[in-house]
């Protein structure tokens, strides 16, 4: 029953074997980092670890297994697709096209990344190739600071300090209203910041997974995350902060 | 350990380092400078709390589930794929 039930543990064993025979020190260090990442993922026991069991079943023609895999990943794919294309209908097409790509590519998928990362990278490629988005050529981050420069004095100290809202947020707004504030703030982010914040903070993917899915460097990912999170905080402060 | 004047961070610099700090990407020396600043600056400590809360609140966002029409469309994709897989050659 559990032929492919714990692929991560299997991957860890393979990597350890690979480390023993790795010829160069730098390769060994890279592998050690990968092993640590895999071990961390196993420890965190992320949802999707048992995607593999579903994959085996859908290969065997089990429609229910395919639907389960879709249920698990569809919303995330749709949300990511919508950051690339403006129309919801086109986003649905991109996602549908992605599932076909996933099915066709299953036999070639080597399992070097997680199934989810692999699927998201297919989606990103499809979305970019629709031609609607020019995301690759857009600058990494807007040049603006995390906080409006006018809020600091000449020496760089707070002149207009952050207004309190953390402890009071649930008293000041209902859960629904807070959710609207967050959705609007996310919508207003520049495309690439929105993609990174969506995947990291809303979808709870690791930075490695986000870099792999969007094909960006760790450094660029952090810059985008920083700008995006800073703007999200600003929106929350505007909506929730006590009067200045 | 007391930092020399030249090592002190301004609040304006702190807000730009917060993400690297939370991501564990700050070099040790920078991390020490940031912590030294936070321990003496109520406003920047509040700012850091707000960034943590912003991340936590983003994690509570949930959106739409699969609509019946998408479900049908995807099942169709699957069935067509099975047919081509089953086809010889």
Q: Is residue A112 part of a domain?
A: yes
Is residue A79 domain-shared with residue A120, that is, in the same domain?
A: yes
What is the number of domains present in chain A?
3
Q: Is residue A213 part of a domain?
A: yes
Residues A20 and A71 reside in one and the same domain: no
Q: Does residue A114 share a domain with residue A206?
A: no
Which band of pLDDT confidence, cut at 50, 70 and 90, is reported for residue B40?
Answer: very high
Across the 244 residues of chain A, what is the mean pLDDT of every consecutive 10-residue run?
A: 37 40 41 41 45 84 89 88 83 90 84 83 88 49 81 96 92 89 88 88 87 89 95 95 74
**Domain assignment present for A165:** yes
Domain boundary among A135, A160, A180: A135
Q: Identify whether A2 is part of a domain.
A: no
Distance, in Å, from the CA atom of A197 to the CA atom of A203, rounded to the nearest integer, reads 9
Q: Do B53 and A155 touch (CB under 8 A)?
A: no
Q: What are phi and psi of A85, to 5 degrees?
A: -120, 145
CATH number at residue A172: 1.10.10.10
pLDDT at A122: 93
**So what's the pLDDT on residue A181?**
92
Number of domains in chain B: 1
Using CB atoms, pick whichever of B12, B66, B73 lies closest to residue A71.
B66
Q: Who wins on pLDDT, B57 or A128?
A: B57
Residue holding tokens 């807007």? A142
Contacts B17 to A, Cβ<8 Å:
none
B54 and A92 within 8 Å at the Cβ level: the answer is no
Q: How far is Cα A91 from Cα A117, in angstroms, rounded to an integer?
A: 18
Among A135, A170, A187, give the residue marking a domain's end. A135
* Final residue in a domain of this structure, among A135, A150, A180: A135
How far apart are alpha carbons B78 and A69 in whole angstroms? 12
Q: Are A108 and A145 in the same domain?
A: no
Catalogue the E-assigned strands of B1-89. Answer: none
**Range 91-110 of A in CB contact (< 8 A) with B:** 92, 96, 99-100, 103-104
Complex confidence, ipTM: 0.75
Burial of A32 (0-12, 13-18, 19+ CB in 10 A): middle
Least confident of A49-58, A229-238, B2-11, B20-29: B2-11
Does residue A1 form part of some domain?
A: no
Q: What is the CATH number of the domain that holds B40?
A: 1.10.10
Structural domain for A27, as ranges: 7-44
Residue B23 structural domain: 5-86
């Amino acid at each position: 029953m559990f032929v492919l039930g714990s692929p991560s543990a299997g991957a860890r064993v393979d990597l350890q074997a690979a480390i023993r025979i790795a010829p160069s020190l730098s390769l060994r260090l890279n592998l050690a980092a990968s092993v640590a990442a895999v071990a961390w993922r196993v420890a965190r026991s992320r949802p999707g670890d048992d995607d593999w069991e579903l994959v085996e079943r859908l290969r065997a023609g089990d429609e229910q297994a395919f639907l389960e895999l879709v249920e698990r990943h569809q919303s995330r794919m749709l949300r990511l697709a919508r950051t690339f294309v403006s129309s919801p209908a086109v986003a649905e097409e991109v996602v549908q096209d992605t599932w076909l790509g996933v099915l066709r590519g299953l036999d070639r998928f080597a399992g070097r990344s997680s199934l989810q990362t692999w699927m998201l990278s297919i989606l990103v490629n499809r979305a970019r190739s629709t031609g609607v988005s020019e995301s690759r050529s857009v600058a990494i981050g807007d040049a603006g600071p995390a906080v409006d420069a006018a809020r600091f004095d000449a020496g760089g100290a707070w002149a207009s300090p952050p207004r309190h809202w953390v402890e009071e947020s649930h008293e000041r707004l209902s859960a629904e209203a807070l959710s609207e504030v967050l959705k609007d703030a996310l919508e207003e982010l520049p495309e690439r910041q929105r993609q990174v914040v969506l995947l990291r903070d809303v979808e709870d993917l690791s930075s490695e997974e986000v870099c792999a899915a969007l094909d960006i460097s760790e450094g660029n990912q952090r810059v985008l995350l920083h700008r995006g999170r800073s703007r999200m905080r600003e929106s929350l402060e505007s909506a929730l902060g006590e009067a200045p | 350990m007391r930092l020399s004047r030249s090592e002190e961070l301004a609040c304006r610099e702190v807000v730009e380092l917060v993400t690297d700090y939370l991501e564990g990407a700050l070099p040790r020396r920078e991390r020490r400078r940031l912590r030294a600043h936070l321990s003496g600056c109520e406003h920047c400590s509040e700012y850091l709390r707000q960034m943590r809360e912003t991340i936590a609140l983003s994690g509570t966002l949930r959106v739409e589930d699969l609509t019946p029409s998408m479900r049908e469309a995807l099942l169709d994709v699957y069935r067509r794929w099975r047919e081509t897989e089953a086809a010889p050659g």
